[in-house]
Structures are given as C-alpha cells and as structure tokens.
Amino acid sequence: MTKILVIHGPNLQLLGRREPSIYGRATLPQINRELTRLARKLKVALTFLQSNHEGELVEAIGRSGKVYRGILINPAAYTHTSVAIRDALEAVGLPVVEVHLSNIYAREAFRHTSVIAPVARGQISGFGTESYTLGLTALVGLLKKSR
Amino acid sequence: MTKILVIHGPNLQLLGRREPSIYGRATLPQINRELTRLARKLKVALTFLQSNHEGELVEAIGRSGKVYRGILINPAAYTHTSVAIRDALEAVGLPVVEVHLSNIYAREAFRHTSVIAPVARGQISGFGTESYTLGLTALVGLLKKSR
Amino acid sequence: MTKILVIHGPNLQLLGRREPSIYGRATLPQINRELTRLARKLKVALTFLQSNHEGELVEAIGRSGKVYRGILINPAAYTHTSVAIRDALEAVGLPVVEVHLSNIYAREAFRHTSVIAPVARGQISGFGTESYTLGLTALVGLLKKSR
Amino acid sequence: MTKILVIHGPNLQLLGRREPSIYGRATLPQINRELTRLARKLKVALTFLQSNHEGELVEAIGRSGKVYRGILINPAAYTHTSVAIRDALEAVGLPVVEVHLSNIYAREAFRHTSVIAPVARGQISGFGTESYTLGLTALVGLLKKSR
Amino acid sequence: MTKILVIHGPNLQLLGRREPSIYGRATLPQINRELTRLARKLKVALTFLQSNHEGELVEAIGRSGKVYRGILINPAAYTHTSVAIRDALEAVGLPVVEVHLSNIYAREAFRHTSVIAPVARGQISGFGTESYTLGLTALVGLLKKSR
Amino acid sequence: MTKILVIHGPNLQLLGRREPSIYGRATLPQINRELTRLARKLKVALTFLQSNHEGELVEAIGRSGKVYRGILINPAAYTHTSVAIRDALEAVGLPVVEVHLSNIYAREAFRHTSVIAPVARGQISGFGTESYTLGLTALVGLLKKSR
Amino acid sequence: MTKILVIHGPNLQLLGRREPSIYGRATLPQINRELTRLARKLKVALTFLQSNHEGELVEAIGRSGKVYRGILINPAAYTHTSVAIRDALEAVGLPVVEVHLSNIYAREAFRHTSVIAPVARGQISGFGTESYTLGLTALVGLLKKSR
Amino acid sequence: MTKILVIHGPNLQLLGRREPSIYGRATLPQINRELTRLARKLKVALTFLQSNHEGELVEAIGRSGKVYRGILINPAAYTHTSVAIRDALEAVGLPVVEVHLSNIYAREAFRHTSVIAPVARGQISGFGTESYTLGLTALVGLLKKSR
Amino acid sequence: MTKILVIHGPNLQLLGRREPSIYGRATLPQINRELTRLARKLKVALTFLQSNHEGELVEAIGRSGKVYRGILINPAAYTHTSVAIRDALEAVGLPVVEVHLSNIYAREAFRHTSVIAPVARGQISGFGTESYTLGLTALVGLLKKSR
Amino acid sequence: MTKILVIHGPNLQLLGRREPSIYGRATLPQINRELTRLARKLKVALTFLQSNHEGELVEAIGRSGKVYRGILINPAAYTHTSVAIRDALEAVGLPVVEVHLSNIYAREAFRHTSVIAPVARGQISGFGTESYTLGLTALVGLLKKSR
Amino acid sequence: MTKILVIHGPNLQLLGRREPSIYGRATLPQINRELTRLARKLKVALTFLQSNHEGELVEAIGRSGKVYRGILINPAAYTHTSVAIRDALEAVGLPVVEVHLSNIYAREAFRHTSVIAPVARGQISGFGTESYTLGLTALVGLLKKSR
Amino acid sequence: MTKILVIHGPNLQLLGRREPSIYGRATLPQINRELTRLARKLKVALTFLQSNHEGELVEAIGRSGKVYRGILINPAAYTHTSVAIRDALEAVGLPVVEVHLSNIYAREAFRHTSVIAPVARGQISGFGTESYTLGLTALVGLLKKSR
C-alpha cells in the first residue's frame, strides 16, 4: 500500500487555539483524522509528523526516501526561511505537495516568498483544513500518473 | 442551483498544443468536460469563458455578481500584470479561487508574483488539469461553509 | 464650441455598487450628468466614453486629436499598467487632466505610481465625484490660458 | 463662519520670480487675493501662513485644531522630506487638501513621492495658481459633505 | 510560398503624425508598401496586422502557427508590459524578430526592458522604417538557415 | 503570583566569555540572579529558559499561554531570522518585551531588522545587563496597566 | 549634581490630544513631572526642552556638552529624517538614550529606520510614558558605570 | 565690489571642538578670517552666515539674489536631506560652489548622496579648511569667466 | 568613398571555436570577408579592428572622427562594462551601430544592460553573422539620410 | 596533539545518495576516513560532528573553545541562513575554515551569500570531497603560522 | 624638489574637441602648461601621464611610490568602473586628489558613483580646467601639512 | 607533461609591499617559486603571467586552449569587473580554479561578488600564499579525475 508522509511544521500543534480568524478552529488531531478518512478512500497509508524543530524535519525527510512514495507538507514558518528543509526535499526526490491553511499571498509581504515552492510539484493555500485534503488528493493524483 | 463562473485567461485556447511539457496534453474542451462531470457530482452549474481580452474578462467579472455565487479563474499571463482584473474581482466581491496548471513558483522570476492572489480566497498551482478540479472542489467547499 | 473627451477606465461601469466606502455611491450616469451640467456653465461640450478595453481606449484617444480640444481621463486600473494609453495620450498631444475618485497615494503601494501622470498636465485625486468636476474646471482653465 | 488655514511651504515667498516656466508668474500675494475672492463666494474665511521653517509649520498646524475646520497646504519642498509636518497633520485630524503648482509627477524622480499625501484627503497638482483655487473648492466641498 | 505575419502593436496606426522627431514621418501604409516590395525580392508573402488590442494580438499569434513560417513584430507599448503576447509567441514556437522604430535603450528607463525579447530570435531597434526592412531580411535569413 | 517567562536565545550561555567588549562581562547566571532580585521587589515570579534550539524556544512559547502572564525575551541571533518564534509569540498572545544587550542598530546592517519586534509590545536595546532589568520593569508595568 | 538634558521632538507638545490610541493620554507636563519625581530619587537634575524646530534642537544639543552629563531624547518625527540632530549628538559626545512612546517597529515601514540610533547608547520603544522613565533610569545607570 | 554670500550649515558653530580627527582643529571664526584674507586678495567682499535652521538658510538664500553674485556653501548635514535648500538655490539662480571639510565619499553610505550637488556648479570635499579657500577661489574664477 | 570603421571587441578573435552553439561557426576573417563583399555593393570602404584592449578601442575610436563617416561596433563583453568606450563614441560624435551575434536579452541578466546603447543610433542582436551585415546596411542607410 | 573540530551541516548525512551530479558519490564516512588519513600525516586529531539541528551546531561550537584549536565547517544550507552559527563561531574566536562541496557561486542566487564567510578565515568551494582535504590542509597551515 | 604625478584618464587626449559644452575648450597640452606654471609657483615638479589603458594607469601608479610624493588624477570614465586603479592607489599609499572637469553629480546617474573617491583624500569637480589647478593647490597643501 | 597557466591579475606585482596586513609579506617571485616547487611534486609544468592589462589577460587566456590543461587565476581587482576575462575563460573551456589571497567575503561589499566564479570550477580565498598552493593542488586533482 502506498505510504505518504504528512508533515506539519512549527506552531501547528497550537491549531484551534492560535488566531482562529486566520487559521480556523480545527485542531491538528482533527485534521489528521480527516486526512486518515480520506486516505482510506484513496487507498493510501499516512504517517503524521509534527515538529517545531527544523533539524527533526530535515532528518525525517532525509529518511523518508526508502519508506514513502510522497510527502504532503505544511512547512508553516519554515516556508519562508528553511533552506535546509528545501535541500532535504530536493535530496530525497519524492513528489512533494506544499499546503497552507491561510492564503499566504494575502498576508504580510515576508510571507509571499516560499523557499520550498520551487522544489514542490504544486502548492495549495488558503482553504483552511481543506488545503490538506485537497493536497492529499493532488498528491495521490500525481502518484497515479507517474506509475 | 449554485452557479459558478469558470474563467480561462489568455492563450489557454491553445492548450494541448502549447508547450505540453509545461502545460500538459489536455485541451480546453477536455478540461471543461472534466469540470462539468465534477460539477454534476458537486451539484453546481458551471459557465465557461475563455478570453484573451483583458477587457472582456473585466466585463464578465463585473456582470457576474448578480448571476454567480463564485468564480474559478486561471488568469494565465494576466496573473502577473492585470490590476484591472484584480479590481473587477474585488468589486464584485464573490469568493474567488485562483488556479494555475504549472507551478508558477518554479518558473521565471516574473511569474512568482500574482496581482490576483491577494483578492482570491485561495490559490492552487502546479497540478495540471487537476488544479482545476481541485479548485472547483475548494470553491464549492467555501460556498458551503459560508452558507 | 470647445469639445472635450471624458474617458472612464476599467470597472468604472460598476460605480455605486463597487466598494462604496472607497469609491462613493454615485453611479457613472450620475457623474456624467453632473459633468454635463458643469459643462453647460463652462460652455464646453462633452463626449463620454467608458471602456474596460485598453485597446478601445487607445483607439479613442488616437482618433481624438482632430475632434477634441482636451481629454479628462480617469484611467482607473490602467493608471498603473498601461504604457499603451500613455503613448496614445502623448501621441495626440492634447492637454490631459488625470482624475481619481480615491486618494491613490493612501492605498496599496502599487497604486502610488501612475504611468499616465508624466504625460498629463495635472492630476486630481481623492475627492470622489468632485475629482471629475474639479478636473473639468481645471481642463477648461488650461484651454483658456493656451488660447 | 467656517475658517480655513492656508499654508504655503518653503521658497513660495519667491513666487513670480522663481523659475516662472515651472511655477508661473503669479506672486504669493496675488494667489492669496485670488483665494480670498473665491473664499468670499464660498462663504469661508481664510488665514494665510507662509513659512520656510518646518518647525513653524508644525506648530501652526498643531495649534490649528481648535480654530480651523480644514487645511489647504502646498508643502513645497517639505512634501518630500517632512515626517514632522505629516505627523502634525495627522495629529490635529482636520481634513487636509494638498496642492502643487507644478505636476510633481512629471519632474525629477525624488519629487514623485509625497510623505504628506497619505494623510491628506486629496491632492491636486499641475495647474499653477488654479491648483490653489481648485483645492479650496475641493476642501469646502469636503467640509459640506461631512457636516 | 513562405508566409510571414507582420504585426504592428498599439498606436502604430498613428505613425507619421505621432511625434515625428522620434518615430519618423512614414505612415503605416507606406511602411507596409515598402515591406511588400522587399518581400517580393525575398520571395516571401506578407500578411499585415495592426491592432491596439492585446487580446487581438494574442489571438492572431495563437492562430498563426498553422499558416505562417515566421513573425515580424513591433510590439510598441506592449513590449514593456504584455506577458500575454510573450506567452502567445512562445506557445506557437515560430521564429520571431522584434523591431522598434526608435532606439528604446536611449529613451525613458521603463522602455529599456522588453518582456518580448527573451522569446524572440533577435531584435532590431533605432533605424526608423528601416528597422522593419532589416527585420524582414533577418527573419527570411533565419528561415533559410533552418530549412 | 504573576508568573513571567524569561527567554534567552542562542549563544547566550556563553555570556561573560563571548566578546565582552560588545556583550559585557556578566554571565547568564549573574543576569538571572539580578532579575530574580528585581522580581522579588516587583512581586512577580520568573522562570528562566536558555536554548540554542529554535524548536525548543517555539515549544516553550507555545506552552506558555496557560502558565505565564508575560514573556521577556532576548532572541539573540534568532531576532533576525526566526519567523517560527515570531509566529509562536503571536499565537500565544501574551505581552512580550524584547531586549538586547548591545545596541543592534549600531552594528552590522543585518542586525538592524528584528522579525520579532512587530509582535512585541516594546523593545529595549543597548544597555547590557540593564536591558534585562529595564525590560522586566517595563513588562510588569504593562501587566499592571492591562489589569 | 549630575545634570541631564531631556529633549522632546516635534509634535510632542500635542501629547494627550494626539491619537491617544497610539501615544497614550499623558500630556507632556505630566511626563515631565513624572520624570522629575524619578530624577529626585536618582539624584540627578533635569532640564526639559520641547521644540518643533530642528535647528533649535541642534543648537541645544550643541551647547549641552559643557553643562550636561547625558541626553535623554525622544526625537519623534526627526528620528527618521534628521542627520543634523545625529551630527549634533555625535559632536557633543555625551551618552544619549533614545526613547519612543510607541513601538516604531510595529508601525509604517518608514518609521523602522532611526538615523539617531547608531549614535545613541541604547534605545527604548513602545512603553508609552514609561519609555521615558525607563530611559532616564538607563541613562543614569550608564553614567554611574562610566564614572 | 563683487559680493559673495558664505553659508555654513548646521553644527559648524562647533568646529574645532567637534570630532577634530574628522573636521580638523580650526574654528569657524578662524575659517572666516582666512576666507576674508583671501577675499581681499581676490577683491571680493564676503558676508558670513552660520545657521542650524533650515528655514533661515532657505530665507537667506531666497533674499540673496539681489545683493550677491555667488554663494559658497557648506550645507553640512543638510547636504543629504534638504530639498528646501536645493530649491532655494535653484530659485535664485546664482552660481553656487558646494564645499565639505571631510571627504564625504569616504564616510557612511548616507553621506555619499548630496541633494545640493545637482544645482551647484561644482563641489570640493575633503581638504578641511582649505576646502573653503579652494571653493572661494573656484567661485571667483567662475564669476570672472561669466562676466 | 565613404569610410567606415568596423570594431570587434574582446574574445571575438576566438569566433568559430568559442561556444559555437551561442556564437555560430563563422570565424572573424569570414565575417570580415562577408562584410567586405557587402561593402562593395554598398559602395563604402571598411577598416577592421579587433582588440581585446579597452584602451586600444578607446584610442581607435578617438582617432576615427577625421577619417571615418560611421562606426559599426560589436563591443562584446565591453558592452556591459566600458564607460570609457561609451565616452569615446560620444566624444567623436559619429553615427554608431551596435551589433551582437547572440540575443543578449535571452542570456544572463548582466548581459541585458548595454552601456553603449544610449550613445548608438540603433542596435541589432541575435542574428549571428547576419547581425553584422544588417548593421552595415543600417549604418549606410543612416549615412545616406543624413547627407 | 592539536585537536580540530570537523562540522558537517544539515543533509550531509545523505551524501552519496543526494544528487550525486552536484555533490559527488562519496559518503560522509568515506570523507571522514579520508580526512582522518590526512590528519595523521598533518599530525592533528579530528573530532567529527554531523547535525541537522542548528541548535546542536551552535552548542558544539560554543563548547569547542576549550578543547579545539580550530574548526573546519561545511555549514551546508545553514551557510545562507544561520546568524546563530555565525555568532557562535565569532564568540569562540577559533580559526574557522568554511568548505563547500559544490561551487556555490555557480548555483541559485540565494546560495551566493554566506553569512558564515565574514567570520571565517577563508573559504574553499567547488572541489567535492577535496574541498574538505584542502580545507584541513589550510586550517593546519593557519594554526602553524599563528603559533 | 617635491615630485607629483599628474594622471589623465581615458579620452582626455580629445579635450578641446570633445563636447566642449561639457568639458570646455582647453586642450590637454594647455591644461598641462597651466599646471606647470602653477607648479613653478608652488615649487613642485610635475610628471604628466595620459593613458586610455587601465593597465598602464595601474602600472604607473604602482611604480609611483618611490618617486612621487602625491598623485593628482582625473580618472575620467575609469572613475566609475576601475577597481584596479582604486587598488593601485590604495596600494602605493600616496596622498591622492581626484579631479573632474564637469560636475559629475549633475550628469547621468551612473556618473554619480566614484569607486576612486573612498581612497582619495579629497575630490574637486565641476570647474573645468580650474578643477586641475585647484586640485594641485589642494594636494600641495596636504603635503605641506603632513611634513 | 601537463601544463598549467598561472595568472596573476592587476597590482599583484606589488605584493609584499602592498598593504601587508591584508595581502601578506610574500612577493610574487616568492609565490611563483613556491608554486614551482609544488608543481615538481605534482608533476605538472607551470607558466606564469602577471598583467595589469585586462586585454593581455583576455588574450593569454584565449591562446591557452591549445597549450594548457588548466588555469589557476587570481583575478584580483578584475574579479569584480571583468566580463571580458569571464568570457575568455568560458570560451577556452579549460578547468579554472580561482584564488584570492584575502577573504574577499570579509571585506568591502563590492568585493563580495565575483563575475569569474560562475565559470570557475571552484574558488579558494583567504589563506594568503597558501591560497595559491591549495588552488594548484585542487586543479591538479580536478585534472586527474577528468582523465
């Protein structure tokens, strides 16, 4: 069964409490449950990882190449600053879909630039929890095509 | 029944023939048929418009407020240059989802800036034809929530 | 009798409905009627043109040199993007007055630059409908001096 | 009777002698007389102040809140450099109309930016002496609306 | 017989009247006649299109791939702003020669950048009407080599 | 009793040894003792955290909302690079006071920008150890006012 | 007894009336009284100067070297524009503490740069009236150390 | 006898005491005496003005046109910030020589730009007191040629 | 007989061997022979100069004014860096045509700027050897018109 | 015996598998063995550290001052983003040699800037594994000179 | 007797013929004669060098340290581009005075930056031939002081 | 026997005398002797060239392709300005190693950019004379691998 790594970046453990007008009221466990339901339909298996540590994310991505077929990532704040995560994603060479809860292009200027985007296949931003489910759908779609 | 306006920007009439390595092999009628199939499932009605004329797009958007509940738009080249389309979208105030066939953030630097994004609810880029179907799904999701 | 061409740029057909907190509640026909009343006092004749098509505006300006003595223009979104309209205005060589309903210098940064301004005689912005009547007064004033 | 403060910024005492091809041949007393005539028609009272001292302008504006209903200002060179005048105008909170004799957008690049404009209601530039009379008309119009 | 599409961008219908010190005294029909004479010598057939509408130019270019062997284009004002025309030229993939009547590099700074140039084979600017005849010669030369 | 979290960013464990001409001779334990003395006077309780790990800082801030009433932070090098810490501070919504031992505005240009400052209530820089004691005083002052 | 010069820059005479949401409700005399109380405790004597005139501030600073031991300054709008005040402060060579009522780094971009900061020992911003009392405490602290 | 206005900008009253390693040990009266000696040789009469007030400098320059034949100015800090002084110099139209004690191009980046230079005939910087005597020599040379 | 100076800039002695995919397979002697043939038809005489030395090019241009009627130049790498060659061309005042073998606007960003272009009459780039023959044709055309 | 700390930054645990066309086929253990061999010849002892955690690197550097005589570091992605590592290196004050496997100046623009380089003695980039051996040779050379 | 090297940069051999409205009518030999006359008065000996070759200038400066006591240089076009000349001047360490015939700050933007100025003692620009004589006077003044 | 061209750029003939704190005390002949000793060990033959003339360097590189197997270059000041040397290196296509005596990334900002680096295989900077010996070792290593 196709395995997909789902990565939640820094501060996402706070979801539901953190500025709900921007990030919505769903918590991370709720998002993960919703993704699991969808995964069952799409016949893929998900592993979840939330970390606030750039290094942990880098290592998890580095190890992912042998186990997973694709990565769904919300890099959160590291979207704008982490060349290390970008390099890790480029190194493992798996298809990557980048998602954002909020529309990063309608926020502060420093959030308009993603250092991750050039190494991702595609990006989805602005749909709250649904950014994740759309992203998983998109990723599974990419995997089917490349088979 | 909820009506949605689907807008295809300049040069998209060439799809299928135009640089297939970037834009894929699907033609515009094929994309529209696929969207129609999905619309039936989602129980929404679609109207399609392709235009290479910024003015036509501006006018169609300007008239859309009374008829449609949302707009799905691939602004193509006008993504990067048309303040007039942005103003039109802002003026009618409908929920807007912006889609791109290619990952615009992995291409030339001038394609990294969307003047449309700040007035859209969300953006999906990089998944070829599937950017459209994901975008329609996302838009219908937004409409349900706001009801 | 001195003839003046009054040009309304893109999206101005929506006036009255479009974000009234920024653009006011007057509709375009109301503005035109008010300008017509003023024109009678100032003993000039007005022709009105609203277009969302850059090309139509370019052509109308290009033909205006033989018929009109001056141009009153609200270039709206094309203020910031249309070198073609600028070139047309420069080419016909008539005195031009540029008007804006809102104070463009108190809005988003991309609205602070007018590519039209360097080829206009003067600019009036921020007074709502009155920007037009002040602009017409100013234009007629310029025409009198140059006689 | 509505009282309006008319402020002339630095070097404007030289009007009529200073580069007449740019600034016209009218002197400051002539402009003030013309404004007085117009004020009588508009049934408002004017107080005139010309100063080359940023500090004097700041203080006059700071005191104006209790006496005046609006400010008509040609900030001249301080348009481009004086955050202090901007802060004073913002602090007193009166409606402000900014005027310029010449079209500042058709001159040197450093004249294209006004630090005053974002705190003014509107701006009029390029019509010589008439910039002032149009500006006074506009300001009285604003005051009427806000009553 | 080899067919070539000759495109004249916005405001070029005004040639001969428009600022002759910059653009010369030849009218567009005169330029077209001169190009026709040259085409006869070079044994190619020309089709002429002048349009002020970005959308019309985009569409003409989009249709050209099946009929023409090359494009000679003076994009005029759209040189500096039209990503849509650039995308159309790139999409059809015909050899393109870009010409300018005036030396755009000796004029205002915003005219120094051509968004068209990177998708053209070559560029000729500054020789008035002769820019066109040199451009046609160059284009026919390119076509011969690639045969 | 009001609890306050005191955060020392990367490399501050080296204080006293690290470039004393810039950072002074006091060690971190000495600073903490001095803060504890002051806290007693101000009748608040302090918890200290020094970490070189962005992720640890992010997590500590993320957990702080339920326990603490305010945060005193010297983000050190992360001042200039950590959007993740900024997001964490914004997410918990506690009053934040940012302090720096050295005057960051009198050092290298890259130290002039703080990504933390826009989410802090205030900033104190340049007074060595005293930046901390002034910062604690300021934070307690803010907490009193908001009660 | 150690004498300290306290300088209030332009528009600060308006404090209490001017945008209280940003600058607080305390008036300048109230701030000065609070500073006087604190000075008594710290056993220093204060002289107060408020001026809207850059030149007056420059001169007062220029004369201060023989009389005062330190300068506490809120340069207000001149923070961002006055090289002359910076040069005066550098010339007299007294220790300088720069204070701001509001957090200048959380406001408009042009307020993020202080031309004064590089010649000050330290900076305190964002604590309202308390910025002054913290600043005086800091300055007296610096003077004690340098004795 | 040819009269020349010698203007010393802000902080120059401090000369001799102010950072002598940069500005030298000569006081302003000494510089003026040396200039007077040289003026006698060159058979011109000098009037000296030192002011820290931008407005005073603007006014003195504004009045100078009728009395003086040329201006020797060390604008000091106003070199980099005063559009008002620039406008005044341009308005009176006298030949202007700009001098600086220090080499402004070997100091901080913000001192590399002179807003005065474009309206001066020439500039001399870096020679301490001798910058003034060379400047006076140069100005008298210019006046002779233009006679 | 009209004499024209043909200048080949640095590295052009390597033509034919140097990156033929960019610069083509023709050698410099072949280009010169082709230009000589064309010159005979156009009834002008050519002198050729290739130099890798900026100074030699500057001197040759400096001496050219008395002997030649025009200059055809491929400045190669000096296109982007040599103010000295620009000044020499401007000084002699002959009509200059600038040519490039490759389309410099489709290459690295630093090749998009020509310091030579503003002092040339026109520019031709991207046609390989034919850039030279078109350039010579253009230059002779310019000389005929100016007679 | 002289002890040297060898630091490998993020993602370098992937060497050999990660994009071998850029980074080569050697694995990290192979590189370390080769460095150990060289160290024996140079009579120095090496300690190796690979970490993907900025904080771990900061701490290891912070502790290194008492044990090691120099640092050989390949900061990998942190080269471009980590002010914390820079500050740690500056704080301990050991001689530092920075190495890169690939030529960072021939890659994406964001890789052209090293925040580490200004605190290193020297930098070696582009020679694959040999960058390390050259770097160790260079570092030992520096240590010999400074003895 | 004190020996001074006088260096004339590229294109200055053309003086008198080259754009006399900018550079004046004096030829280089005339300037040299005038400098020689002045040198006699100042009791210094001059050696003149004009070269269009950056390398020759670099070498002459490199050799000058043993023979000359100072350098008077008009770097002409190399002012803006030659790091090599700057390095040579810095290397020999002689006092350098930089002169320009025209006011480089009143010309094209690219002429506003001198890479030479930071290594010169002072700069004189805008006085035509007199820039040289003032420069020699200044240089001899500097040499006297440093004795 | 493998032949290598060693190029020393402008001002390097001054080594040993020129700012020894930056460039060290070794002279160019000493460096060449040291390189010769190393070359003997590495069994390669060296040819040395020092030139201050950009053109000479361009020509030597242009001729090198037939004789040499690699180039070791210290471009000195031309590192930052010479597109011509870059083009020559790219044209001959030999492996190039760029060396610098000082750490150019720890010096003035304009020295941080090398126009040569993108066409070199690798770069070594900051180790004084040893930069050359390391560079030669690296170059010979590259040649061995590519055999």
* The token pair that represents K21 in the structure block: 């409205």
Specify the residue for token string 């990294």.
B112
pLDDT at G146 over 80: no
Helix, coil or strand: residue E49: strand
E116-E122-E127-E133 Cα dihedral, nearest 10 degrees: -110
Q: How far is F83 from chain A (nearest CA, A)?
A: 5
Instruction: For an interface test with F, give the residue of J57, J58, J78, J79 to mutate (most F CBs within 10 A).
Output: J58
Which residue type occupies I136?
Answer: L
More confident residue, F145 or B126: B126
User: pLDDT per residue over K90-135, tens digit each?
Assistant: 999 999 999 999 999 999 999 999 999 999 999 999 999 999 999 9
In this prediction, residue J147 carries a pLDDT of: 67
The closest CB to that of I53, out of L53, L90, L91, belongs to: L53
Q: What are the CA-CA distances from residue L66 to residues I9, L6, L69 (Å)?
A: 22, 15, 8
pLDDT at D94 over 80: yes
Query: If you average pLDDT over every residue of chain I, what do you get?
Result: 95
Instruction: For an interface test with D, give the residue of C111, C115, C125 to mutate (most D CBs within 10 A).
Output: C125
In this prediction, residue I128 carries a pLDDT of: 95
Does the ipTM exceed 0.90? yes
Q: Do chains J and L touch (3 or more CB pairs under 8 A)?
A: yes
Alpha-carbon span C138 to C122, nearest angstrom: 8
Q: What is the mean pLDDT of residues K59-86?
A: 97
Query: If you average pLDDT over every residue of chain C, what do you get?
Result: 95
pLDDT at I15 over 70: yes
Confidence of residue K18 (pLDDT cuts 50, 70, 90): confident
Alpha-carbon span G77 to G55, nearest angstrom: 14
Confidence of residue F21 (pLDDT cuts 50, 70, 90): confident
Q: What is the mean pLDDT of residues K16-31?
A: 86
Q: What is the mean pLDDT of residues C11-34?
A: 90
Query: Which residue from D52, D92, D103 is spatially nearest to D75, judged by alpha carbons?
Result: D52
pLDDT at E139 over 70: yes
In this prediction, residue C17 carries a pLDDT of: 79
| CATH number assigned to the domain comprising residue J75 | 3.40.50.9100
DSSP-assigned states of every residue in L16-27: TTS-HHHH-S--
More confident residue, H62 or K147: H62
Query: If you average pLDDT over every residue of chain K, what do you get?
Result: 95
Model pTM score: 0.95
Please state, as a whole number, how many other Cβ atoms lie within 10 Å of the Cβ of residue A21. Answer: 7
pLDDT at C123 over 90: yes
DSSP K16: T
User: pLDDT per residue over B24-50, tens digit each?
Assistant: 889 999 999 999 999 999 999 999 999
Alpha-carbon span E61 to E94, nearest angstrom: 9
In this prediction, residue C18 carries a pLDDT of: 76
Q: Of H8, H23, H68, H132, which residue is the catalytic one?
A: H23
CB H115 within 8 A of CB D110: yes
**A143 sits in which H/E element:** helix A129-146
Domain that holds residue D89: 2-145
Q: Report yes or no: E48 at the I interface, CB cutoff 8 Å.
A: no
pLDDT at D96 over 80: yes
Q: Report yes or no: I121 at the E interface, CB cutoff 8 Å.
A: yes
Q: How far is A34 from chain J (nearest CA, A)?
A: 31
In this prediction, residue L51 carries a pLDDT of: 98
Q: Which ranges of chain A have pLDDT less than 70?
A: 147
Confidence of residue L18 (pLDDT cuts 50, 70, 90): confident
Beta-carbon separation of E10 and C91 below 8 A:
no
Where do runs of H (alpha helix) occur along H73-146?
Answer: 83-92, 129-146
In this prediction, residue G126 carries a pLDDT of: 97
Q: What's the maximum distance between 2 C-alpha atoms anywhere in chain B?
A: 41
Instruction: For an interface test with A, give the residue of F51, F58, F59, F94 to mutate (most A CBs within 10 A).
Output: F58
* The token pair that represents G101 in the structure block: 């009522």
Number of domains comprising chain F: 1
Q: What is the mean pLDDT of residues F59-66?
A: 96
Q: Report yes or no: E125 at the I interface, CB cutoff 8 Å.
A: yes
In this prediction, residue E22 carries a pLDDT of: 79
DSSP I134: H
The closest CB to that of H55, out of D14, D51, D81, belongs to: D51
Alpha-carbon span K140 to C138, nearest angstrom: 61
The closest CB to that of G84, out of H11, H13, H55, belongs to: H11
Confidence of residue E123 (pLDDT cuts 50, 70, 90): very high
DSSP-assigned states of every residue in E56-87: HHHHHHHHHTTT-SEEEEE-GGGGGT-HHHHH
Residue of B nearest to E92 (CA): B18
Q: Do chains B and A touch (3 or more CB pairs under 8 A)?
A: yes
Residues of K with Cβ-Cβ distance to L51 under 8 angstroms:
55
Please state, as a whole number, how many other Cβ atoms lie within 10 Å of the Cβ of residue F145. Answer: 12
Residue of G nearest to F121 (CA): G126
In this prediction, residue I25 carries a pLDDT of: 87
In percent, the amount of chain E with pLDDT more than 70 equals: 99
Please state, as a whole number, how many other Cβ atoms lie within 10 Å of the Cβ of residue G125. Answer: 28
Helix axis angle, I28-42 to I129-146, nearest 10° = 30
Query: Which residue from K2, K136, K146 is spatially nearest to K72, judged by alpha carbons?
Result: K136
Q: Report yes or no: D98 at the G interface, CB cutoff 8 Å.
A: no
Q: Do chains A and K touch (3 or more CB pairs under 8 A)?
A: no
- pLDDT profile of chain J (147 residues), mean per 10: 97 88 88 98 98 98 96 98 97 97 95 97 97 98 87
Query: If you average pLDDT over every residue of chain G, what do you get?
Result: 95
Helix, coil or strand: residue K94: coil
Tally of residues, chain I: 147
In this prediction, residue G55 carries a pLDDT of: 97
Q: Report yes or no: F54 at the J interface, CB cutoff 8 Å.
A: yes
Query: If you average pLDDT over every residue of chain F, what do you get?
Result: 95
J55-J59-J62-J65 Cα dihedral, nearest 10 degrees: -140
* The token pair that represents H42 in the structure block: 């060159």
In this prediction, residue F147 carries a pLDDT of: 67
Q: What is the mean pLDDT of residues L72-89?
A: 97
Alpha-carbon span H58 to D50, nearest angstrom: 13
User: pLDDT per residue over B51-79, tens digit each?
Assistant: 999 999 999 999 999 999 999 999 999 99
pLDDT at G147 over 90: no
Confidence of residue L146 (pLDDT cuts 50, 70, 90): confident
More confident residue, D24 or D99: D99
CB pairs A-J closer than 8 Å: 58
Q: What is the mean pLDDT of residues B77-106?
A: 97
Residues of I with Cβ-Cβ distance to L59 under 8 angstroms:
13, 52
CB L121 within 8 A of CB L90: no
Q: Report yes or no: L29 at the I interface, CB cutoff 8 Å.
A: no
Give the angle H6-H8-H14 at the CA atoms, nearest 5°.
140
Query: Chains near B, with 3+ CB pairs < 8 A?
Result: A, C, E
Residue of H nearest to K22 (CA): H121
Q: Report yes or no: B103 at the E interface, CB cutoff 8 Å.
A: no
Q: What is the mean pLDDT of residues F96-104?
A: 97
* The token pair that represents K39 in the structure block: 């040198």
pLDDT at B147 over 80: no
